[in-house]
């Protein structure tokens, strides 16, 4: 697996860390493992909350792995890949535990979906976010319902169309981030204190807060097959492959 997913239990908090060499972009195997780990930790009685974070001090998550997108040539494999993002977000929604996400740097595409799938999200002021899928020739279809839930349909549409980065301050104003810090050290200090408090809370109360927070999202399951197909079919177009290869080349030249 080109990347890793690890989990550690600390004081009733399951800390799940994912990482890949290229800006924590996510290949299919990492998505599958991440979804599986979230659900497994959610079943443990001693776990009161789940923390999701990524490796390093730069990008939180660059979304889908370009290397894997270029290799996909069949619709079923493409659907399986994009279905991986759906599985991760569905696990965050249905695991039964409060999910906290730590965003230490820029995040794009599917990474924005993970931030929006959080029940509570910490970030640094460098954690700008963008929905850049249109640059590839697709759209943020799979993560769309989760992003819309946080920022509303109009703002989601604007982000999907212009693909521009929004600042961490913007993300806080639009309910994606709940705490923004000047740097990683400050964020981690706040996060540690927050998790300590969370660990002292009633498990039953936290579970019920989780339940009522996601009321009205049951239809997400019905939306997903069509949303997965939208991205899966578009990414197979020659124009999409050329777009990805061009972006990869630009990134390599930097």
- Give 144-170 pLDDT, tens digit per residue: 999 999 999 999 999 999 999 999 999
Q: Is the per-residue pLDDT at 251 higher than 90?
A: no
Nearest one of 164, 167, 149 to 92, comparing CA atoms: 149
Q: Return the residue matching tokens 């909350």.
A: 49
Which percentage of the chain shows pLDDT scores above 70?
Answer: 99
Read off the pLDDT band of 1 (50, 70, 90).
low
CB of 234 within 8 A of CB of 138?
A: yes
For β-strands 120-124 and 179-181, DSSP reports them as parallel
* Predicted confidence (pLDDT) at residue 91 exceeds the cutoff of 80: yes
Q: Which two tokens stand for residue 104?
A: 């230490």
Q: Does domain 4-184 have CATH number 3.90.226.10?
A: yes
Provide the pairing of β-strand 13-19 with 4-10.
antiparallel
Check pLDDT > 90 for residue 247.
no
Q: Per residue in 40-84, pLDDT tens?
A: 999 999 999 999 999 999 999 999 999 999 999 999 999 999 999
The separation between the first and the last C-alpha atoms of the chain, rounded to the nearest angstrom, is 27
* pLDDT value, residue 2: 84
For 112, the token pair is 């924005």
Q: Which residues pair with 53 in a beta bridge?
A: 17
pLDDT at 73: 93
Q: What is the structure's pLDDT at 252?
A: 74
- Say what the pLDDT of residue 254 is: 63
What residue ranges do the domains of the chain occupy? 4-184
């Amino acid at each position: 697996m080109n990347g890793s997913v690890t989990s550690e239990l600390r004081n009733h908090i399951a800390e799940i860390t994912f990482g890949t060499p290229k800006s924590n972009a996510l290949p299919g195997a990492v998505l599958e493992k991440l979804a599986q780990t979230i659900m497994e930790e959610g079943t443990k009685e001693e776990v009161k909350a789940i923390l999701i974070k990524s490796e390093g001090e730069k990008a939180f998550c660059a979304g889908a792995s370009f290397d894997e997108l270029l290799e996909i040539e069949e619709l079923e494999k493409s659907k399986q890949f994009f279905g991986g993002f759906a599985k991760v977000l569905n696990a965050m929604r249905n695991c039964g535990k409060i999910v906290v996400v730590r965003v230490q740097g820029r995040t794009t595409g599917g990474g924005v979906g993970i931030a929006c799938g959080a029940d509570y999200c910490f970030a640094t002021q460098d954690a700008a976010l963008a929905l850049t899928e249109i640059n590839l020739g697709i759209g943020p279809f799979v993560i769309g319902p989760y992003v819309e839930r946080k920022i509303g349909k109009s703002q989601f549409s604007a982000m999907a169309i212009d693909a521009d980065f929004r600042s961490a301050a913007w993300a806080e104003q639009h309910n994606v981030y709940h705490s923004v810090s000047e740097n990683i050290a400050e964020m981690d200090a706040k996060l540690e204190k927050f998790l300590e408090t969370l660990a002292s809370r009633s498990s039953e109360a936290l579970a019920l807060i989780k339940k009522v927070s996601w009321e009205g999202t049951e239809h997400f399951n019905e939306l997903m097959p069509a949303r997965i197909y939208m991205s899966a079919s578009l990414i197979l177009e020659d124009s999409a492959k050329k777009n990805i290869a061009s972006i990869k080349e630009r990134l390599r030249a930097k």
